[in-house]
A and B are shown apart, each in its own frame.
Chain A
C-alpha cells in the first residue's frame, strides 16, 4: 500500500483537463520539446544542407581519396568532413542520406499508424467477430521476429527506392498501433462523455473522431515517435546488410560501404562514425519525444518525476517557520497540528488549501474532520502524513507526535514515523491493494518494511490482524479480486494497524461502500479503536456517519477550521453558521422536509476575502465579519468556534479600530 497515491481535493488540484490554449498546457513538456528540437535540427540539416553545400560531391570520383576531416592533418577545406575510398565527399553524403533515412522511418510509421487506427477502431468500436479476427492477427504479428523476416523479404525483393523500403517496414509497424487504438477505444467508449455524445444523437464516426480521437492524441503521438525510431532502426539494419536500395544514399548504406571497404581496419574513422552519430542523435531525439509524450498522456508519471524534483529542491527552501500560535500543548494529545498552512503553487496563483489549521487528537479518540470537497480536509490529512503532492507545499506550521515535529523530519526518519506512529487508510483504499499479490504478501511487506520478524511470527501476526478487523483466516491466501469492497477495506484497516501506530488517518474510509457494508466497516473501525486504544482522524463529509463514529468533530470551510467540538454538542448545539447549515442539510429518513438549497463555495481559494471566510454565505454577517477574521476561540466547555456572533465585545472592537 502506498501512502502517496492520494489526489488532493478537487478545487485545489491543478487543472484536470488539457486546455490546449492555456499557457500551462501539458504539451509544454520539457523532454518532448527537447526531442522535437533535436529531431528538427537533424531534419533542417538534411533539408537545408543542399542550399549550402554541393551535393553532387556525394558521387564517385568527386574528390581525392581517403582524405581525413579538415581538423586533422592532411584534411582539405573543400571536404570539411573528409572523403572516402571512392572520392565521395562525406558531408555531401550525410546531407543526402539523413533525410532519406528519416523519410523511410516517417513513412513506415505513418502507414503503420494509419493501418493501426483503422483496424484498432474497427476492433474496438464494432467489436464482436471483427475484434476476434483483428486481435488474433495483431497479437500473432507481434510474435513474429520482424528483423529476421525483413532480411528474408529484402533479399528477395529488389528495392529500388525508399518508398518500397518503407512499405515493407510498414508491414511490421501496424500491430502496435492497432492494439493501442483498440484498447484506447475500449476504455474511452465507457467514458461518460462518450455516452453523453451518444445520447446527443451523434453518429459513431463523429464520436470516434470528435470525442475520442483528441483524447487519444498523446498516446498516438507517443506510439508514432516510438514507431519512427524503430522503423529507422529496421531500415538502417537492412541497409547495413546491403539489402536496402543501393542507388539512394542512406545512413545505413554509408556504414555498409565503410564496412565492405574495411574502413574500420584502415582507420578511416570519419567514414563510419558520422552516420552512427547522426543515427544516435535521431534516436535520442525520438526517445525524448516518446517519453515526453508518455508523461503528457499519463500525468501520473509526470507527477512522480516532479515529486522527486520537488524533494530535491526542498532542501534549498527556507526552513519552515514554526509558529507557536494558539492551540497550546495538550497533555493527552496523540497528534498535534499546529498552525498548519498548505499552499498550492499553481500557474494561476497560490491556492490556500489550509490556512492556520490548528487542532489536536487526544489519545484514544476519533476526531472527525468534515467539510465539503475542496475545503482542504484531504490536504490537511496529506500534510499530517507529509505527503502533500506538488505543487502543494507546507509553508508554515508543525505536526507533532510525541513532541517530534514531522514537518522538520525527512527521508528515513520520516518514513519510519509514517508507518510506526502514523498510518493511513486512504480514500478508496480497496483500490490501493495490488491485484496480483495475495493478501499475505501485501501485509507482510508492510510489516517487514519496518520490522524484522520471523516467518512464523509474521504469519501469526497477520492472522491476528485479520482477526482484529473481523475477517476469516483464509483471507490471508486470497487475492484482492476475490474479496468484496468491504472486505478489501478491512484488509486496508488491518494493514494500517499492523505496526501499532498511535494515530490512524482515515480518509473517507467508507465513501464508495453501500450502507450495510459501510456500517460493517465503521463498526470495525470502532472495535479497532476500542481494542487498541489507537487515535484516529476520520475525514468525511457524511454527517450521519460522523455522528455515529467520532468523539469530537472539527469542521473545515475553505481551508479554515470554523468549529471544533465534542460530537454531541456539535449536533445538539452547533455554533458556527456553516456547521448549522451542514447539519440542517442532512437528508433525513425520519421526516420529509423541504430541501435547504444554498450555494456551494462562493469565493476563489486563490483569493480569500478579508474577514470571515464564510461571510458570503452567512445569514448573520455584520460589518466586523467583512473586516477581521474571527479566531478559533473556546466559547463553551471544550467547544471552539471561529465566529464573531459569540464575541460580545465585537461592536466595541470595531469602534476601537475606527478610533
Chain B
C-alpha cells in the first residue's frame, strides 16, 4: 500500500504497508493483534480490510474472493460479515441523530428482521450482550451517553450483524481503566460465545497480552515479528519489539526504567537511498545490533519456532555467509 506521488508531486510515494501478508482463519475464532507505533501502517491495514482504501499492489481475499472485485451481493455479505469498532467513541456517532439512528441504518440496509417487533428484539438482544438496555439509551443523543456506553453501543451495532470478523481499531485507547476491562471482556465473550474473530489493532501491548491469540508487530509498514501473543511478549526476538516491551512503564515505583533511551534525529529515522525508496532494514537507525548486512535489504521473516517468525538477520543461520556475500 502506497500513498502520495500525487499531482505535481515529485516525492516518491510513502509506503505505508510493504509486502504484508496475513491469513485469518474462520474457526476457531481468534483475536489477532496488529501492534505498532503510529505510522507503522496498522490503521492502513484496517482501512484496507474495511475497503476504505484499495491496495496499490496485492489483494485481500475474503473466502477466496478479492474484495476489490466483488459484485453487489458479495459486497453486502462482506459488509455484514466484516464489521468494525473504532477508537474514538465520540466520533462514531453522528451528533445530529439519536442513538436509535445507528441501529436503524443497519436495519435498513441489511435484511435482518421481518417486522418492527423483531427488529426491536434484535437490537435489544445486541444491547444486552454488551450490558445495556434499549429504553435507557436508544432515545438519547450521543453526547448524553458516557464514553463507555458509547463504545459498548458500537460493539452492539457490530454484533447485531452477526459478523465473522470485527476490525477493532484501538477500541480501548480512549476509554478509562475500568471501562477498558469491560470492553476487552466483551471482545473475549464475543470470541468464545459467538465465534467472532477480531483484528485487534493497537499500540498497547499489555492489553494485547491480556486478550490476544496471535500477534503481528509492525514497524514502518514492515512485519517485524509475528506469532503467538504470549510468546512474543514473554520472549521478544526482534530488537524493536524488545525496545517496545522495555518501554512499557512498569506499574511499580520500585522498578524504574533501567536504561537510558535516545532516539536518533528525525531525518535519519527512515532508511532511504538517494531516490527516497526505502532500503535495508527499517529499524537499522535505532537498532543496537546493526550489522552491515542490515543496510543491504529488508530481512525476510525468519521462523524462530513454530509460527513465531521475526524479520531480523540476527536470527538467520547463514548470516555469516550473507555478510561475506555483501562484502564481495
Contacts and interface: CB of A to CB of B under 8 A. Distances in A.
Contact of B86 (A17, A22, A196, A484): A196
Interface stretch (A179-187, A417-425, A594-602): A594-602
Contact of B50 (A199, A487, A572, A601): A199
A587 B154 CA distance: 23
Given A17-B95, A19-B141, A514-B38, A587 B207 contact: yes
Contacts of A542: 249
A593 B207 CA distance: 11
B178 A600 contact: yes
Contact of A214 (B50, B80, B96, B257): B96
Interface string A557-568: 000000000011
Interface string B167-179: 0000000001111
Interface stretch (A156-164, A516-524, A634-642): A516-524
A486 B52 contact: no
Interface residues of A, number: 73
A202 B105 contact: yes
B76 interface: yes
Interface string A19-30: 110100000000
Contact of B52 (A191, A195, A583, A593): A195
A566 to B, nearest CB: 9
B143 A544 contact: no
Interface stretch (A8-16, A253-261, A268-276): A8-16
B265 to A, nearest CB: 6
Interface string B88-121: 1011111110000010011011100000000000
A201 to B, nearest CB: 3
Interface residues of B, number: 76
A459 interface: no
B250 A585 contact: no
A18 interface: yes
Given A543-B251, A585-B180, A520 B263 contact: yes
A600 B105 contact: no
B314 interface: no
A322 interface: no
Interface in B253-308: 253-254, 256-257, 260-263, 265-266, 269
B147 A10 contact: yes
Contacts, number: 205
B74 interface: no
A518 B204 contact: no
B18 interface: no
B322 interface: no
A588 interface: yes
B178 A372 contact: yes
B176 A596 contact: no
A353 B215 CA distance: 41
B133 to A, nearest CB: 14
Nearest to B110: A201
B181 A585 contact: yes
A544 B248 contact: yes
Given A547-B251, A595-B182, 16 more contacts: A15-B143, A16-B142, A17-B93, A196-B92, A196-B105, A198-B50, A373-B147, A520-B262, A523-B260, A547-B250, A548-B253, A586-B177, A589-B233, A597-B181, A598-B181, A598-B182
Interface of A: 10-11, 15-20, 22, 132, 191-202, 211, 214-215, 372-374, 470, 472, 482-487, 514-520, 522-523, 541-545, 547-548, 567-568, 571-572, 581-583, 585-589, 592-593, 595-601
Interface of B: 7, 37-38, 50-52, 76, 79-80, 83-84, 86-88, 90-96, 102, 105-106, 108-110, 141-144, 146-148, 154, 157, 176-182, 184-185, 188, 203-207, 209-211, 230, 233, 243-245, 247-254, 256-257, 260-263, 265-266, 269
* 3 closest cross-chain pairs (CB), A and B: A201-B109, A17-B95, A372-B176
22 contacts: A16-B142, A17-B93, A18-B96, A193-B92, A193-B93, A202-B108, A514-B203, A515-B244, A516-B263, A517-B37, A518-B247, A520-B263, A547-B249, A583-B251, A585-B177, A586-B251, A587-B210, A595-B188, A598-B182, A600-B147, A600-B148, A601-B146
